[in-house]
Amino acid sequence: MAKQPSKHGQQWTQQDVKQLKQLAKENTPTRVMGIKLERTPEAVQSKASEVGVSLKPTNQSPYNRRKS
């Protein structure tokens, strides 16, 4: 069985929700969001749905991407 994230079962804080919104805006994959927020991907999806945050990636033109 997989290891439980450290915040498993804990309430979401305002800071957690703020970080979730920022990560969603940056098109971060749900699995990566879960790692950064120390939550399961399912918890991330559930909370995003609850607060009205879309996790669908926005279409970006390959011609407008910034070069690293």
CA distance 29 to 59: 14
User: Mapping DSSP to helix (H, G, I), strand (E, B) and coil, where does residue 56 land?
Assistant: coil
pTM: 0.73
CA distance 14 to 21: 11
For the chain, domain boundaries: 26-52
26-61 per-position pLDDT tens digit = 888 899 999 999 999 999 999 999 999 888 876 665
- Supply the pLDDT for residue 65: 57
Contact 54, 48 (CB under 8 A): yes
Q: Sorting pLDDT into bands at 50, 70 and 90, what band is 67? A: low
